């Protein structure tokens, strides 16, 4: 997926997060967009939240170019760990489902 060259990196990230959000919704996650990220929650999980709270497992996923991958856009966790290249949506879903406690 690419957006026209005249689009800003913020627009590129937003579009890619929208795509990820649609896929995550289809897999039963709740999602909502916030400035610069996508809040994802696994409401079916009994796992502890990633920020130390109990209850729902969740994270804020961001999208930005990966310095070590030729500037390709990648998804990142809120603690800045790479999840997967944006073109590899299935890999991103598997990783997110894994760390948010959803069955693969």
pLDDT of residue 87: 96
Burial status of residue 15 (CB atoms within 10 A of its CB: 0-12, 13-18, 19 or more): middle
- pLDDT, tens digit, for every residue of 24-72? 999 999 999 999 899 999 987 655 444 445 567 899 999 999 999 999 9
Dig out the tokens for 35 from the structure.
Answer: 């400035």
pLDDT of residue 6: 52
Q: Nearest 5°: CA angle at 34, between 29 and 35?
A: 150
Measured CA to CA, the distance from residue 14 to residue 8 in angstroms comes to 10
Measured CA to CA, the distance from residue 22 to residue 7 in angstroms comes to 21
3-7, 24-28, 96-100: least confidently modelled range: 3-7
Q: Nearest 5°: CA angle at 35, between 70 and 47?
A: 90
Percent of the chain with pLDDT over 70: 81
Q: pTM value?
A: 0.82
């Amino acid at each position: 997926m690419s957006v026209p060259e005249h689009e800003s990196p913020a627009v590129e990230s937003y579009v890619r997060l929208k795509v990820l959000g649609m896929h995550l919704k289809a897999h039963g996650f709740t999602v909502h967009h916030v400035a610069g990220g996508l809040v994802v929650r696994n409401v079916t999980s009994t796992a502890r939240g990633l920020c130390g709270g109990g209850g729902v497992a969740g994270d804020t996923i961001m999208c930005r170019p990966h310095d070590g991958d030729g500037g390709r856009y990648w998804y990142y966790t809120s603690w800045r760990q790479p999840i997967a290249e944006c073109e590899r949506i299935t890999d991103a879903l598997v990783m997110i489902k894994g760390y948010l406690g959803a069955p693969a």
